[in-house]
Chains A and B, each alone.
Chain A
C-alpha cells in the first residue's frame, strides 16, 4: 500500500473523487457526526460561553507554555512518573524504542494516539523487532489494511462495513460476514490475547494537568484502560500543547471534546492517571514514562498568528464540517492530520514546501471556525499560510498575474481597457466554466445614462 503524499494533493483528491465507496462512506459518517455534534452542542445552554472559556484557558497556557510544562513535569515526577522531552519525531521514537528494548519487550499494545501517528512510531518499533498491536478498533482496522488514519478521531472512517468484513476474513480468518457484532467479536478476541501478552502499553494524552501531574485520556472502547493498566510499563506520548493549568479546567474541556467529536455528552471511559501505582490502590503499571513532543510546535508557538494552531484539542469537528473533506476524505491530504486543521498544522509540522498545496485546499467557507470548540480561526490561519507560500514560492506566472492585476485594479483606465480587451477575447476564447460573459456595457458605462 503506497501512502499518498501531501505533495501530490491534487492527484490524490482526484483519485478520491473517483472512489464511489469512499464517497459513500464519507457522506454517511461526516453527516452523522455533524448532526450529532449539532444536537449535543444545542443541548447545553452555554455552548458559546464554554468555547470562549476553553479558548481563554488555552491562551493562558500558550502565553507561557514552558512554565506550565515545568509545573506538570514537577508534579508528574513527584508521583513517580519519568518525563522525557523530545525535540522531534526521531528523538521521540528513539526514546520509546530504547525504553522498550531495555526491558526486552516483544509485544507492545497501543491505544489511539495521533501524536504517535505523527512520529510514525509503529514503523520505528517494528524496525526494532517488536510486534505492535493497535487496540482501538478503527486503528486496528487500518493497521491490518496497512493504511494511515483518514480522520483524527475515526481513523477508518473511509471504509465501509463490507470492506472491513473482507479485510477481517483475509487477515484474521473470520468467516465472511458484514455483521458488525461478529466483526467486533473477532477483533476483540484477537486483541484480548495481545493485551495478555503485552510487555508495554503505549497511549496518547488528551489533557495533562499541570497542578497535579495527571494525564487524562478519553475513549469509548475500554482499550485505553487496558493499555494503560495491564502491561508493566506504560508510555504516554503527548504534544507539548496538551497541558492545561488546573484540574478544574477539565470541566470545560470534558464538556466540549466529546460533544464536538462524536456528539456524546460524555465518553464511556475517562482515565485519570497520576504517577505510578502506590498504596493503598496498588494497581497498574510499575513504570510510567511520559514523552513530551515538540516536533515543530515551538515554531508555531513563536509566531503570534500561528500560535492559535496549538489550541486544537483534536476533536475532528472541523473535518466533518468541511465541504472539501466531505468530498475527498483524509488520505488525500497525505498527512496524519487531514481536513481544515490538518491543512493548517501539516505545513507547519512538515515544512511549508512539502505541504504547500494544503492551505489552498479550502473554499474559505468558514464552517470549520463555526464548529471549532476552541474557536480557532482556521480561515485566518489558512490565509496567513497562503501568504507565506505565495510570497516565498508562488509560481512565477501566478506572481506576474497578480502584479498585473494590481496594476489594472488601481487604474480606472487600465481597468476599462482590460474589460474591452476581455470582451473581444471572449469571442474567440471560451469563458471559464461557471463564469458569465462580460456584458457589452458595464454598470459603470450604464451609470452615465442614469
Chain B
C-alpha cells in the first residue's frame, strides 16, 4: 500500500526520530512511503485559538498538497493533527468548492496506530523492547478518533515489553496547545496529576501517540529527575532488541 506521510510540524522540527521511526515501521509492514517536502502544519494552533481565516489558509494548502498525492492513505504519527484534518469540513461548512475537497482529504487521513490496526490489520509489527511501560491516551486521538484499543494491542505485541495500564490513562495531560500558553498554572496543575500517576505505575517508559503530550509530560519528568522516559508509539514500534 502506498502511504503519504504527514509528519506534522512539531515532529519535523523538534522530534525527528518519531518521523524516522514512523517511516521505518510503515516500510516494515510493507508500505511504500512518500513524503511531500512542501508540507508544514495542519492549522490546529489557529483553529483552536479562534483564528478561523488563518486556519482556513493553512488548511487549504494542506488539502491542495495532499490531494495531489496518489497514495492510498495519508498517515500521521499524531492523533491531534489527524483529528484537526478530520475537522476541516467544519472550517469549510457551506463552501461548495472546499467542503468536498476537505471531506475527501479527511477521509484518507489516518493516525498511525489506527492505520496499522484498522486499515492494515497489523497487530504485531515485530518490535521488541524490554522493560515495563504504560500508555497515555492523548485526548484527540482518544475522543475525536476513538483510538483506544489499537495502541494497546500494538504495545502488548511488542516482545519483551510488560504493559501496565496507567491510572486515569484517559485523563488530559494539561497541554492543550493555546491553553498551556494562556493558563500555564492550570496546565501544570493538571499535569501534576498525570505525573503522579506515571510515577505510581512503576514503569521505565510512558508511551503516547502525540509529541505534544509527550513534551509536556517528558519536560516535567526530566525536570524533577525522574527515571521514567517518554517515548512515542512509533519509536517503540521501531525498537528491536539489539540493545
Is A410 in contact with chain B by the CB < 8 A criterion?
yes
User: Which chain A residues (353-374) contact chain B, with CB distance < 8 Å?
Assistant: 360-367, 369-370
| Cβ–Cβ < 8 Å partners of B170 in chain A | 367
**B99-107, B122-130, B171-179 - the one binding chain A:** B171-179
User: Which chain B residues (108-139) contact chain A, with CB distance < 8 Å?
Assistant: 139
Is A436 in contact with chain B by the CB < 8 A criterion?
yes
Is B159 in contact with chain A by the CB < 8 A criterion?
no
User: Which chain A residues (366-398) contact chain B, with CB distance < 8 Å?
Assistant: 366-367, 369-370, 380, 383, 385-391, 394, 398
Instruction: Pick the contact of B50: A362, A383, A419, A446 (CB < 8 A).
Output: A383
Known: A402-B54, A409-B61. A360 touches B182 (CB 8 A): yes
| Cβ–Cβ < 8 Å partners of B20 in chain A | 443, 446
Question: Which residue in chain B gives the minimum CB-CB distance to A322?
Answer: B172
Q: What is the CA–CA distance of A412 and B183 in the complex, to the nearest angstrom?
A: 31
Known: A362-B179, A363-B172. A415 touches B50 (CB 8 A): no
CB of A430, distance to nearest CB on chain B (Å): 13
The listed residue with most B CB atoms (<10 A of its CB), out of A361, A364, A435, is: A364
Q: Are B37 and A383 in contact (CB under 8 A)?
A: no
Q: Are A364 and B50 in contact (CB under 8 A)?
A: no
Is A303 in contact with chain B by the CB < 8 A criterion?
no
| Cβ–Cβ < 8 Å partners of B55 in chain A | 406
User: Which chain B residues (79-109) contact chain A, with CB distance < 8 Å?
Assistant: 90
| Cβ–Cβ < 8 Å partners of B200 in chain A | none
| Cβ–Cβ < 8 Å partners of B7 in chain A | 443-444
Q: Are A434 and B19 in contact (CB under 8 A)?
A: no
| Cβ–Cβ < 8 Å partners of B220 in chain A | 434
Question: Which residue in chain B gives the minimum CB-CB distance to A403?
Answer: B54
Known: A17-B186, A402-B49. A365 touches B139 (CB 8 A): yes
Is A81 in contact with chain B by the CB < 8 A criterion?
no
| Cβ–Cβ < 8 Å partners of A362 in chain B | 176, 179
Is B43 in contact with chain A by the CB < 8 A criterion?
yes
Q: Are B14 and A436 in contact (CB under 8 A)?
A: yes
CB of B175, distance to nearest CB on chain A (Å): 7
CB of A155, distance to nearest CB on chain B (Å): 22
Q: Are B15 and A436 in contact (CB under 8 A)?
A: yes
Q: Are B50 and A389 in contact (CB under 8 A)?
A: yes
Q: Main SS of the interface on chain A?
A: helix
| Cβ–Cβ < 8 Å partners of B219 in chain A | 433-436
| Cβ–Cβ < 8 Å partners of A394 in chain B | 50-51
Q: Are A366 and B50 in contact (CB under 8 A)?
A: no
Known: A13-B186, A366-B144. A383 touches B48 (CB 8 A): yes
| Cβ–Cβ < 8 Å partners of B61 in chain A | 409-410
CB of A389, distance to nearest CB on chain B (Å): 6
Question: Which residue in chain B gives the minimum CB-CB distance to A359?
Answer: B50
| Cβ–Cβ < 8 Å partners of B38 in chain A | 412
Contact with A along B50-72 (1 / 0, CB 8 A): 11111101100100000000000
CB of B117, distance to nearest CB on chain A (Å): 21
| Cβ–Cβ < 8 Å partners of A402 in chain B | 45-46, 49, 51, 54
Instruction: Pick the contact of A436: B35, B180, B186, B215 (CB < 8 A).
Output: B215
CB of B82, distance to nearest CB on chain A (Å): 14
**A56-64, A119-127, A139-147, A323-331 - the one binding chain B:** A323-331
CB of B214, distance to nearest CB on chain A (Å): 9
The listed residue with most A CB atoms (<10 A of its CB), out of B43, B177, B190, B193, is: B190
Q: Are B46 and A434 in contact (CB under 8 A)?
A: no
Q: What is the CA–CA distance of A389 and B61 in the complex, to the nearest angstrom?
A: 25
Q: Are A386 and B140 in contact (CB under 8 A)?
A: no
Q: Are A409 and B43 in contact (CB under 8 A)?
A: yes
Instruction: Pick the contact of B215: A435, A439, A442 (CB < 8 A).
Output: A435
Instruction: Pick the contact of A437: B14, B23, B49, B50 (CB < 8 A).
Output: B14
| Cβ–Cβ < 8 Å partners of A399 in chain B | 51
Q: What is the CA–CA distance of A365 and B179 in the complex, to the nearest angstrom?
A: 11
Q: Are A364 and B183 in contact (CB under 8 A)?
A: no
Contact with B along A46-78 (1 / 0, CB 8 A): 000000000000000000000000000000000
Is A192 in contact with chain B by the CB < 8 A criterion?
no
Instruction: Pick the contact of B185: A14, A383, A412, A432 (CB < 8 A).
Output: A14
| Cβ–Cβ < 8 Å partners of A328 in chain B | 186, 189
User: Which chain A residues (409-450) contact chain B, with CB distance < 8 Å?
Assistant: 409-410, 412, 415, 419, 422, 432-439, 441-444, 446-447, 450
Known: A369-B143, A409-B58, A415-B40. A363 touches B179 (CB 8 A): yes
Q: Are B176 and A363 in contact (CB under 8 A)?
A: yes
Known: A386-B48, A398-B49, A409-B43. A443 touches B144 (CB 8 A): no
Known: A435-B215, A438-B14. A363 touches B190 (CB 8 A): yes
| Cβ–Cβ < 8 Å partners of A391 in chain B | 50-53
For the complex with contacts A370-B143, A436-B15, A443-B20, 15 further pairs of A-B residues with Cβ separation under 8 Å are A323-B190, A362-B176, A363-B187, A367-B171, A387-B51, A406-B57, A409-B57, A409-B61, A434-B215, A434-B219, A435-B14, A436-B219, A439-B14, A439-B15, A443-B19
Closest 10 CB pairs of A and B: A363-B176, A390-B50, A386-B50, A434-B219, A366-B143, A365-B172, A406-B54, A443-B19, A365-B139, A402-B51
What are 28 pairs between A and B in contact, CB < 8 Å?
A10-B182, A323-B174, A326-B190, A360-B178, A361-B182, A363-B174, A364-B176, A367-B171, A367-B172, A383-B48, A390-B50, A403-B54, A406-B54, A406-B55, A408-B40, A409-B9, A409-B41, A409-B57, A409-B61, A410-B58, A415-B40, A434-B215, A434-B220, A436-B14, A436-B215, A439-B15, A442-B12, A443-B20
